Structure 1
Amino acid sequence: MRDLARDFLGDRLREEAEYTLEKFRREPTASPLLAAPTSLSAKVFHHLYVLRLDGEVTTSHPTWLETLYPLLDGGEDALIDVHRQGNHLLVYRLPFSIAGHEGTLIVGESFDRVEAGLNKLHWWIGLIAGLVLLLLIGLNLLAVRAGLDPIAQLQRQLEELRQGTRKRLQLTMPTELEPLITQLNRLMDAQENRLKRSRHAVSNLSHALKTPLAAIMQAIRGQRPIGQSRRAKILARLEDMQTQLNAELRRSRIAGADSGQHTFPGRELASLLDMFRTLYPDKTFLSVEMPEAQVRLAMERQDFMEMAGIVLDNAGKWARDTIRIHTTASDGLYMLVEDDGPGVPAEQLARLGQRGRRLDEGLPGHGLGLSILINLLEHYQGTVEFQTPADSGLRVVIHVPAA
C-alpha cells in the first residue's frame, strides 16, 4: 500500500511539473511567480518548487534549498525520496530545455501525512484481521466439533453392536463417511450370512448324518455277524455321509459378493479347460469366445472355479462329443455352456438343481452339484437358466452381475 501511494503521488507530481513547464512555454516571464510561496500553484497544490533556469535558482521553500540543491545536477527525470530532520519529502525532478534556456524543475510534496494515514490504516487492518481470525477460529472449532459428532455417534453404535443391542448402523453421516457406513453394514451382513450358512450347514449335517450313524452304530453293536451284503450297505451309507459332508463344506467355503476379492475369468477358464480336456480326453471343449486375460470379475477365485467347474464337469459327463463355451465379461459375467448330450425334457428342466435330485442314475454322482451352483450364485445375486436347444443336449446360461 505504501508503494501504491508513493506511485500515485509521484504521478501527480510529474503531471504538476509538466503543467508548470507547459505554462512556462506559453508565458516565459511567469516562471518566478510559479515558484514563489504566494503563487497560485503553491497555494492550491501545497507543493514545494525549486527551479534552476540558466544558472539562477529560485524556490518556494528556502529552508529546503540546501537539501534539494544537489538534486538539480541530475541529468534525467526521476522520483526521489528525501529525508531531513525526521521529515519525508517526495520530489520529482524534470530537466528541460525551452527556447534555448536550460533548466531543471523540482516539484515536491510532504509524504509524512500519507505515511501517518497508512500507519493508521495498517492498525485498523490488523485489528480487523485479528477479529476475523478469531471469528474464523471459533467457526472452525464449531465446524470440527460438528464434524466429529457423527464419529462419536458411530463409536456409540459400534459399542452397541459389540454388546449385541444393535444389528446395523443407522445414523446420519456426512457424504464423505457414507461409503464407510455402507461398507460396515455390508461387512456385518456378510458376517450374519456366514453365520446363517454355518448354522444351516450344521443343521443339514445333523439331519443327514444322524440316522445313518445310528444305523451303523446299531449294526456294529449288534450280535449278528456282519456279512458281505450288510458290509456293502454300511459302506454305501458311509459314502453318502462323506458326500453330504463334502457338499456342506463346499457350501461353507462360498465367500460371497462382499468378500472384496476379484478373479480373472479368462485365465481361470483357460486353466479349467486344460484340466477337463485331460479329464475327458474323448470330448472336445470348444471355447467360442473367452474374456481377455486382464479382465477382472468381482468374485472370489475359489467361488468362480467352483461355479465353472460344476457346469463344465456336468457337460463333460453327459456330452457325446462336443462342449461349446461362450463367455463374456464386459458387464458382469455371461457364461454359456452347451453340450450335445441326451439333454433334459422341457417339462423336467424346473427340477434341475433341486437338492439331492438326479434325473438320470446312469452316471456316478449325488445330485448336489447343481444345487451348490444355484446356492453359490444366490450369494452373488446371479442367475442360472437351463435350456434345451433345438437339436440336442443341454444349455446352461449363467449371469453374474457387476459388483
Structure 2
Amino acid sequence: MSRVDRRSLRFRLLAWLGGVSLVVVGVTWLLHGILLNNLARDFLGSRLQQEAEHVLHHFPQGHLSPSLWLDATGPAAQVFHHIYVLRLNNEVTTSHPLWLAPLAPLLDGEDETLVEVAWQGRQLLLYRKEFTLEERNGVLLIGEDFAPVAAGLVKLHWWVGGIAGVLLLLLIVLNLVAVNRGLRPLSRLQQQLVELQLGGRKRLHLDMPAELDELVEQLNRILDSQDQRLKRSREAVANLSHALKTPLSAVTQVLRGSRPIDDQRRGKMLLRLEDIQAQLEAELRRSRIAGPYTGQQTLIRHEAEQLIEMFSALYPDKCFRFEAVPDADTRLNIERQDFQEMLGIALDNAGKWAVQQVRCHLILEAVLTVTIEDDGPGVPQDDIAWLGRRGMRLDEGRPGHGLGLSILRQLVTHYEGELRFGVSDAGGLAVTITLPGGQPG
C-alpha cells in the first residue's frame, strides 16, 4: 500500500475540509442536544406554570378545596397526573407523600422558580409559586417526572447524531470529488510540463482557473526567455565562427609563411587580433543579457551614481553631470547587470566623444527614461539612422569597433523598450533609452 504524502495539496485540502466538516457537524450535534433539552424544559415549565395559575385561580372561587385538589384520588390528580405540594401557613399537604421529604426544603425559596430534583432514580421538574389565600400565605409546588421526556430526548438526539454521521460521510465523499475535480488543471499542467521536458511542446496552453493564469503566464515568460537565451548563444557561436574565420586564417597564413614579419605586417596582424578580441568581447557581453523575466530588481539611482563615478575617473578631463528624479530606494524590474550594461555603453560612448561635458538624466513616470547627452561634434542628421547597426562605425579615427551601440539596441529590444538618437542642446549626440521597467519596488 502506497504511503500518503502529507505534503500533497490533495491531502491538505481533504484534511482541512474533513476536519472543518467534523467540527461543524459535531458542534451542531452538541448544540442540538443542549437546545432540545432546554426547549423541552421550557415547554414543561411553561405548562406547569399555567397549571399552577389555574389551581390558584380556582381556590378563591371555592370550586375545589385545597385538600380535595391535592387528594391523589381527586379530580385534579386524575386529570393532570402531577405531583402537588401545598403549604398554607404551617399546614403542608401533598398528593404524593413519598416526595414530601425531598421537596419540603423547596417550600422555602425564591418565588416562581423552575428547578430539577433527582430522587431514587427519578427526575422531577418542579415549579414553585407563592400566593395568598384568605389572608393566609401559601406556597404551591407542582412537579412532573422529567425522566421519560429526557429518555425520549436522548433517543431523538442519538438518532439525529446517526443522521449527522451519515451526512458527514456524504460530505467527506463530496469533498473528495470536489478536490479531485478542482485539482484536474494541476494534473494537466504537470502533464504539459512533462511534454515540455521531452520536447513535445514549447509553451503551455491550458484553459486554467483564473488563479493560475499568472502562474502559466510567468512560466511561458520563463520559457520564452530561455528560448531567447538559447537563440543568442547559437547566434553568438555562429557570429564568432563567421567573424573569426577570416582573420584567424590570415594570421595563421602569415605565421606559417617564410616571409619576415616587418612592422607593417605586424601592425596588420595586431589589427586583426584586436578585431578578434573585440568580437569575442561583444559576443560575451551579448551572452550575459539576462532579460526582463529574471525576477530581479535594481536600485536604478544607486547604480547610475556608481557608473557616473566610475566614468568620471575613466575620463578625468570630462565633467559628468547626473540628474535623477527617482528616489534612492526606488527599484525597477530590471536585471542589475543589464542596466549597468545599457547605461555603461551610453556613458562610455558619450565620454569618448564629449569635449567637456556629459549629462545623464533619469526620469521615472509611467516608464523609465534615461537621456545621455554630450557636447561633442555630434552625428550628421543623415547618419543618425545608421547608429546602433551592428559593426557600423561612423568615424574610424576614434577607438572602438562599432559594437557597443548595437549591443545597447539589442539590450533595449529585449526589455521591450525604445532606443532613440538625436542632437543634444550642446550640439553633440543625445541617446534616449525608454524602458517599461515594471512597477516601482
TM normalised by structure 1 equals 0.90
Number of aligned residues:
403
Q: How does 1:314-353 map to 2 (within 5 A)?
A: 314-353=349-388
Deviations, residues 230-280 of structure 1 (Å, cap 9, x unaligned): 111111011011001100100000011111111111111111111122222
Q: Which residue of 2 is the match for residue 262 of structure 1?
A: 297
Cα distance change on mapping 1:99 and 1:325 into 2, 3 Å: farther
> 134, 138, 159: which is aligned to 1:124?
159
Cα distance change on mapping 1:382 and 1:33 into 2, 3 Å: farther
Is the deviation greater in 346-355 or in 370-379? 346-355
User: Does the 8 Å contact 1:297/1:329 carry over to 2?
Assistant: no
Cα distance change on mapping 1:309 and 1:35 into 2, 3 Å: same
How many Å apart are 1:360 and its aligned residue?
A: 2.3
Cα distance change on mapping 1:93 and 1:319 into 2, 3 Å: same
> 385, 400, 406: which is aligned to 1:371?
406
Does 2:337 match 1:276? no
How many Å apart are 1:187 and its aligned residue?
A: 2.1
User: Does the 8 Å contact 1:295/1:329 carry over to 2?
Assistant: no
Does 2:420 match 1:361? no
> 62, 78, 82: which is aligned to 2:117?
82
How many Å apart are 1:352 and its aligned residue?
A: 1.0
User: Does the 8 Å contact 1:374/1:384 carry over to 2?
Assistant: yes
Amino acid at match of 2:361: H
Cα distance change on mapping 1:287 and 1:46 into 2, 3 Å: farther
How many Å apart are 1:124 and its aligned residue?
A: 2.2
Q: Give the 3-state SS of the residue equivalent to 1:347 in structure 2.
A: coil
Is the deviation greater in 284-293 or in 91-100? 91-100
Q: Which residue of 2 is the match for residue 298 of structure 1?
A: 333
Amino acid at match of 2:430: R
Cα distance change on mapping 1:264 and 1:391 into 2, 3 Å: closer
How many Å apart are 1:18 and its aligned residue?
A: 4.6
Q: Which residue of 2 is the match for residue 157 of structure 1?
A: 192
What is the distance in 2 between the residues matched to 1:70 and 1:348?
Answer: 116
How many Å apart are 1:168 and its aligned residue?
A: 2.0
TM normalised by structure 2 equals 0.83
Cα distance change on mapping 1:83 and 1:277 into 2, 3 Å: same
Amino acid at match of 1:89: L
User: Does the 8 Å contact 1:297/1:332 carry over to 2?
Assistant: no
What is the distance in 2 between the residues matched to 1:209 and 1:290?
Answer: 44
User: Does the 8 Å contact 2:334/2:437 carry over to 1?
Assistant: no
Cα distance change on mapping 1:382 and 1:42 into 2, 3 Å: farther
Q: Which residue of 2 is the match for residue 55 of structure 1?
A: 90
Give the alignment's Cα RMSD to 1 decimal.
Answer: 2.6
Deviations, residues 42-92 of structure 1 (Å, cap 9, x unaligned): 566554322111222233444544443343244655322123443321001
Q: Which residue of 2 is the match for residue 385 of structure 1?
A: 420
Which 5+ residue runs of structure 1 have no aligned equivalent? none
Amino acid at match of 1:248: E
User: Does the 8 Å contact 2:58/2:64 carry over to 1?
Assistant: no
What is the distance in 2 between the residues matched to 1:330 and 1:280?
Answer: 31
> 201, 208, 211: which is aligned to 2:246?
211
Q: Which residue of 2 is the match for residue 236 of structure 1?
A: 271
Q: Which residue of 2 is the match for residue 103 of structure 1?
A: 138
What is the distance in 1 between the residues matched to 2:310 and 2:86?
Answer: 108
User: Does the 8 Å contact 1:343/1:388 carry over to 2?
Assistant: yes
Q: Which residue of 2 is the match for residue 72 of structure 1?
A: 107
Amino acid at match of 2:403: L
What is the distance in 1 between the residues matched to 2:321 and 2:132?
Answer: 103
What is the distance in 1 between the residues matched to 2:230 and 2:396?
Answer: 34
User: Does the 8 Å contact 1:263/1:301 carry over to 2?
Assistant: yes
Q: Which residue of 2 is the match for residue 167 of structure 1?
A: 202
What is the distance in 2 between the residues matched to 1:191 and 1:302?
Answer: 17
Cα distance change on mapping 1:75 and 1:227 into 2, 3 Å: closer
Cα distance change on mapping 1:43 and 1:292 into 2, 3 Å: farther
User: Does the 8 Å contact 1:354/1:370 carry over to 2?
Assistant: yes
Cα distance change on mapping 1:288 and 1:161 into 2, 3 Å: closer
Which 5+ residue runs of structure 2 have no aligned equivalent? 1-35
